[in-house]
Chain A
Amino acid sequence: MSSSRRTVLKTGAASLALLAAPTIARAQATAANTLIWADDSNSDVTYDPRVTQSRHEEQVIVQVFDQLIMSDETGKLSPGLATAWEMSPDATSVRLSLRNDVKFHDGTPFNAEAVKFTMDTIADPATGSQGAVDMLGPYDKTEILGSHEVRINFKAPNAGILDTLTENELSIVSPAAVQRLGNTGFAQAPVGTGPFRFVSWERGREVVLDRNPDYAWAPTWSTVQGPSNVQRIVHRFIPNNATRVAALEAGEVHIGDILPALDTKRLADSGKFKAMIGVAAGLSFGALLNTSRGPFDDIRVRRAFMHSIDRPRLAQNLYFGIIKAAFGPLAPSTPGYWAGGEQYFPFDRALANRLLDEAGWTMGPNGIRVKNGQPLRVFFPSLLLPDVAVALQSEARRVGFDIAVENVLKQRQDELLMTNQYEMAVIRWVSNDPGVLRIPFHSSNIPEPGKFKFNWARVNDPAMDDLIAKAAQARTAAERTSLFAALQKDIMDRAIFFPIHDQVQTVAHSARVSGLRYARGNWQMRFHEARLATA
């Protein structure tokens, strides 16, 4: 009897041992000189720069493609595929001289035809462009002036075009590859002129890129002028935060994308990893206050709300110094940032109380202010960052606001915003163009039933629309800067947008890796200059 029980136990033990067998040895997963990036998404669908608008897809695109004008992380322009450029005085065209020593990864030469093909196909509705077509703006046509000379024409002034030409979306594609593969095929196997060429894509798992051995046209700011020191890039999809951190700690990946603030700090403090915090260009993470209804139709109440929050302390408490408070509608890393916003709405609870008293809201017995029998109630459907919503709620409560936070999914949020059933909502937007301000502040973008748009403050003022239009059509860079500064001041004066904190990219990487550089806008990371020290 006992012998048979032993047999059963033995069988059980044997099957467990069988399961454990593969755990005995762990192969070194990474070949030498292969750099592995862990991306926080796994739903990439296209690597066609003309089509995409996804920052994840652009993380691959930025390695594979070059732009006509290149920009480092500070936004300074330098020659890329174009060696020189000249804007027409009326800002309706730009003439570009092109490099004549550049080849696409498929061996075909880069020339004026390729530029014309890229621009024309972006404008062609059949391409289905989601980002590039808006960036090209009032595009008319591209004229070929010589084998390596083009003029891009616009139907209206487009003073921002030089900045825009540095965007990943306006990368130059290989016409031969697009014609051979078709648009859909090209999106799966992109061909550019960049420092790395596309090798393979196993969907949901990883993308593999190999260095371009012919690369000899790096921008002047690059510390590596020839081919990259890194042989291979693996772009691995790891959407789960905890798994991405674990893979980094286990040495399975070298660089982790958008890590939680606390982990970023812990990893950096350990000495084995380094953190790179990038303040993303575009709209700061902030709240739009609905001016069309409720207590926020009174500017004194909006100002009181803003003065009641101690933003630097809030950012410190929630993000341990990794993420800083924001003070204007645009992040400091955005071209045309206006520093004047930093003077607005310092934390001042006494002033907040005074403003609310002036506006006729008197303190009720339960600590909530009242006017005409109505409590000072603010409905806040919150889609992003619930911890920030709760922090705002408790701070504003100290001066008598009752902020009702409802954590919502996107579809519920959209419905509430389209039907104007909210007092405030939070927004963030990554963009290298100050023109992004049109999206939340132009009157044509006020949401309507069935039409989801982003002017959630519901500002409807021809003066502001006019300023937005003028800034977009400015003819010189100086004029453009001053108009965008005026626009940012106007937004702050109206107290319609409450900047909360910077939108940041929190990257941590193994101390073995050096030479990493953010692409413009501080979201994507360039790998051309990267080096991998041996372990």
Chain B
Amino acid sequence: MGYFGRRILGVIPVIMVTWTLVFVVLQIIPGDPVNLMLAGVPASEEVRARERERLGLNKPVVERYFSFLARAAQGDLGDSFRSRRPVTDMIAEQMWPTIELALGGLAVGLSLGIVLGVLAGIRPNGWVDSSCMALAMVGVSLPSFWIGMMLIYVFGTVLMWVPITGRGFDALVLPSITVGLFIAGGFARLVRSSIVEAMGQDYVRTARAKGLPRRKVVLKHALRNALIPPVTLLGIQFALLIGGAVVTENVFARPGLGTMLVDAVLTKDMPLVQALIVYKTAAYVVINAAIDIVYGIIDPRVRMAQNS
């Protein structure tokens, strides 16, 4: 069995433990799913009792846990308490808008982060460096709901360049910038320190001594080596985004898994919460594996170490 096969199999115990934890926590936190689902609804006690029975909530906890595991083993993660639809269908629907925003945010974050980081790193401590790092700090510090609202006000309401809500590429611009500014902030700082370090290395000095143009030295030699730590951060950011960006989704009225998870937790829609946790756990593992491959591309030494 190959390296990746082992990693994929290794995810099963992780999912089992996470699942059990989620199940236990959902039992402990107060609130009856039926009352939360019918909050503010004049449903009679008979209706509520009937709903509890339909959802199997009147069965003992242990029985519910094992019947849930048995069904999950057959690939049936159950139906949502609220919508009564298979949770896998529901997640599949919200997956694309979530990935769309994650990719948009990463594209903005990555390009802005690299540009700011490189500009700052090639001439440390100058005014360019200070300005870029100040910008990065702003990106990390400002809450995304505020950035989102400001972007909406300026580009949506006043200038009317892009739609505020809706679907399509132009409606993705403002949310991507909102997510991207945050990513760019962290990314730029990491790229900067890596570049500063790389610029002091022997191979950069050798490259410059050979008379290579500075552009080639920075982009081909220094940047490539400097990218390893930022790529790790990128992986973590992507894994986070793939779980949904709750605030950005809310501000731009976008569907997504972040909103779905918050709703599911607040209404104690247990099958949906459990399925989302499985999805997120699996996404983390897959993305981590993907990052390993990217390491190999950036730095062949990593690939050789894995093969030996």
Which A residues are closer than 8 A to B by beta carbons? 1, 4, 7-9, 11-12, 15-16, 18-19, 22-24, 26-27, 29, 42-43, 45-46, 53-54, 125, 128-131, 133-134, 183-184, 187-188, 202-205, 236-240, 242-244, 246-247, 249-250, 252-253, 410-411, 414-415, 429, 431, 436, 439, 451-453
B211 contacts the other chain (CB 8 A):
no
B59 contacts the other chain (CB 8 A):
no
Cα of A18 to Cα of B104 in the assembled complex, Å = 12
Interface string of B250-279 (1 = CB under 8 A from A): 111111100110010000000000000000
CB distance from A64 to the nearest CB of B (A): 18
**B50 to A128, Cβ gap below 8 A?**
yes
Q: Which residues of B contact A204 (CB under 8 A)?
A: 94, 97, 254-256, 259-260
**B166 to A22, Cβ gap below 8 A?**
no
Q: Which residues of B contact A240 (CB under 8 A)?
A: 250-251, 253
Q: A53-B38, A205-B255 are in contact. Are A236 and B250 (CB under 8 A)?
A: no
Cα of A305 to Cα of B32 in the assembled complex, Å = 34
B210 contacts the other chain (CB 8 A):
no
CB distance from B51 to the nearest CB of A (A): 7
**B42 to A429, Cβ gap below 8 A?**
yes
Q: Specify which of B42, B50, B94, B167 is in contact with A53 (CB 8 Å cutoff).
A: B42
Supply 30 A–B pairs (Cβ within 8 Å), ascending by A.
A4-B218, A8-B122, A11-B115, A12-B119, A16-B115, A19-B108, A19-B111, A22-B170, A22-B173, A23-B155, A26-B163, A26-B170, A45-B80, A45-B82, A53-B41, A53-B42, A130-B41, A130-B43, A130-B47, A131-B41, A187-B83, A205-B166, A236-B166, A236-B253, A238-B253, A246-B156, A247-B164, A247-B165, A250-B156, A452-B32
**B84 to A184, Cβ gap below 8 A?**
yes
Q: Which of A15, A46, A54 has the most CB of B within 10 A?
A: A15
Q: Which residues of B contact A242 (CB under 8 A)?
A: 149, 152, 251
- Chain B residue nearest to A205 (CB atoms) is B255
Cα of A106 to Cα of B55 in the assembled complex, Å = 32
- Chain A residue nearest to B214 (CB atoms) is A4
Q: Which residues of B contact A436 (CB under 8 A)?
A: 42
B71 contacts the other chain (CB 8 A):
no
B76 contacts the other chain (CB 8 A):
no
B39 contacts the other chain (CB 8 A):
yes
Q: Specify which of A46, A54, A133 is in contact with B47 (CB 8 Å cutoff).
A: A133
**B218 to A250, Cβ gap below 8 A?**
no
- Chain B residue nearest to A54 (CB atoms) is B41
| In the A-B complex, the 9 residue pairs with the closest CB atoms | A204-B255, A45-B83, A4-B214, A12-B115, A238-B253, A53-B41, A23-B161, A15-B111, A411-B31
**A238 to B165, Cβ gap below 8 A?**
yes
CB distance from B159 to the nearest CB of A (A): 8
Q: Which residues of B contact A7 (CB under 8 A)?
A: 215
B162 contacts the other chain (CB 8 A):
yes
Q: Which residues of B contact A23 (CB under 8 A)?
A: 155, 161-162, 170, 173
Cα of A449 to Cα of B35 in the assembled complex, Å = 13
Q: Which residues of A contact B165 (CB under 8 A)?
A: 236, 238, 243, 247, 252-253
- Chain A residue nearest to B171 (CB atoms) is A29
Q: Which residues of A contact B47 (CB under 8 A)?
A: 129-130, 133-134
Cα of A14 to Cα of B197 in the assembled complex, Å = 26
CB distance from B43 to the nearest CB of A (A): 5
CB distance from B213 to the nearest CB of A (A): 6
B102 contacts the other chain (CB 8 A):
no
Q: Which residues of B contact A244 (CB under 8 A)?
A: 253
B20 contacts the other chain (CB 8 A):
no
Q: Which residues of A contact B125 (CB under 8 A)?
A: none
**B29 to A411, Cβ gap below 8 A?**
yes
Cα of A281 to Cα of B160 in the assembled complex, Å = 39
Cα of A128 to Cα of B177 in the assembled complex, Å = 43
Q: Which residues of B contact A249 (CB under 8 A)?
A: 157
Q: Specify which of B42, B164, B177, B250 is in contact with A252 (CB 8 Å cutoff).
A: B164
- Chain B residue nearest to A2 (CB atoms) is B214
B153 contacts the other chain (CB 8 A):
yes
Cα of A477 to Cα of B83 in the assembled complex, Å = 38
**A439 to B42, Cβ gap below 8 A?**
yes
Q: Which residues of B contact A184 (CB under 8 A)?
A: 84-85
- Chain B residue nearest to A251 (CB atoms) is B160
**A27 to B170, Cβ gap below 8 A?**
yes
CB distance from A30 to the nearest CB of B (A): 10
B67 contacts the other chain (CB 8 A):
no
- Chain B residue nearest to A4 (CB atoms) is B214
Q: Which residues of B contact A187 (CB under 8 A)?
A: 83-84
Q: Which residues of B contact A202 (CB under 8 A)?
A: 167, 255
**A130 to B38, Cβ gap below 8 A?**
yes
**A205 to B170, Cβ gap below 8 A?**
no
